[in-house]
Amino acid sequence: MEYLTVFLLAVGLSFDSFAVSVCSGLSLPKIQFFQAAKVASVLALVQGTMPLLGWLVGKSMAKIIEPFDHWVVFGLLLLIGGKMIVESFSGESKKAIQNPLALKVILFLGLATSIDALAVGFSFATILEKVLVAILMIASVTFIASMLGILLGKKTGPHVNQYAEIIGGIILISIGSKILIEHLCICK
């Protein structure tokens, strides 16, 4: 998997954290930089850890799923991307977050926004050799997206969340389609 694809995957995965961060900024319009950095760091740490866990599980099963790994990757990214798009219209991401500075709340939000990263990590086991580069890229992009989301939440309103999740979903579905097409040798 090339670096541009990994970067786009990281961007797509970060949109859930971005949406949560916008809500955090809305909930705490007077949030300070270090408080925002705390929220973004926890989200990034969890988002970076989940693909590693998925990769470890996937590596143990790689031989079993290798003949149809491209279908697994495509299916997972299609489901995750489709879920993000559907949720963008349900209004779930526009709910207020009670206290985004409480560690328990941040950890819960981090886990909730990174379940898709766990599934992506599972697919890494069959298509990615340099998993640590991907994990660092996912965590870094998530940190930046979360900081921007908090700032945007402070300055704007919740209508940004819907577009962020739609774009993230489209990116993930596109990457899954690209991987499927490459493995089916339709075009290279």
Nearest alpha-carbon partner for 118 in 57, 71, 175: 57
Q: Decide if 164 is inside a domain.
A: yes
Rounded Cα–Cα distance for residues 4 and 80 (Å): 20
Is-contact 53 159, C-beta < 8 A?
Answer: no
Domain count, the chain: 1
What is the per-residue pLDDT for 95?
52
Which domain covers residue 144, as residue numbers?
A: 3-183
Residue pair 153/31 in contact by the 8 Å Cβ criterion: no
188 within domain boundaries: no
Q: What percentage of residues in the chain have a pLDDT greater than 70? A: 84
**pLDDT tens per residue, range 127-184:** 767 788 889 999 999 999 999 989 888 877 556 666 767 776 787 788 778 777 877 7
Residue 130 · residue 138 · CB < 8 Å: no
pLDDT, tens digit (0-9, with 9 covering 90-100), for 28-86? 878 899 999 999 999 999 999 999 998 888 878 767 766 776 787 788 778 877 877 88
Asked if residue 21 is part of any domain, the answer here is yes
pLDDT of residue 101: 83
Residue 40: per-residue pLDDT = 95
Residue 38 is predicted with a pLDDT of 94
Q: What is the pLDDT of residue 156?
A: 74
**Residue 173: per-residue pLDDT:** 82
Which of 15, 180, 26 shows the shortest CA–CA distance to 114?
15
